[in-house]
Amino acid sequence: MRTCFSFTSRFVHRTAYPALALLLAATHPTQAQVDNDWSGVWNAEGTLFSLRITQMNDQLLIEPLETLGFIWSNGLGRIHGEGEDQSATVDVDYQGVKGTLLVQLGAEGTATVRPVNCQPDFHVVCALVQNQQARFVKMQ
């Protein structure tokens, strides 16, 4: 019984966060100034997972740098809003799952990423990322 729990625990830890980072492919609101510059290298907090974001007007080009071996595809990100209310959405495909991620810039070079939708909803990846979010930190 313990081996089964250990395997399940390792499976969730090894699968859930990378899946979340991929489907959620970059904060708690504070009084600090929000950095509206999307361009730079972003790292998923606590991991080696990193992306390069290049802002082109109201679009974001997303280039994987360190993917931890995961292969996915994404469309251009679309920036919405202005000033401190700025956010972006990105469509992502990963292992038969299609999802849309919402990215919200936070204070001092941080961003929170969470899924807006994930299909098919019965897929294990969608189940693992439901009600989850990832925090990204801008490295450069």
Tell me the C-alpha distance between 88 and 58, whole Å. 9
pLDDT tens for the chain, residues 1 to 140: 333 333 334 444 444 445 555 544 433 333 344 456 899 999 999 999 999 999 999 999 999 999 999 888 999 999 998 877 789 999 999 989 999 999 999 888 999 999 999 999 899 999 999 999 999 999 97
Q: What per-residue confidence (pLDDT) applies to 132? A: 93
All structural domains of the chain, each given as residue ranges with its CATH number in brackets, are 2-138 (2.40.128)
Please compute Rg for the chain using Cα positions. Answer: 15
Return the number of other C-beta atoms located less than 10 Å from residue 117's C-beta.
13
Phi, psi of 136 (to 5 degrees): -110, 150
Q: Are 112 and 134 in contact (CB under 8 A)?
A: yes
Closest CA to 47 of 25, 76, 71, 77: 25
Tell me the C-alpha distance between 47 and 42, whole Å. 11
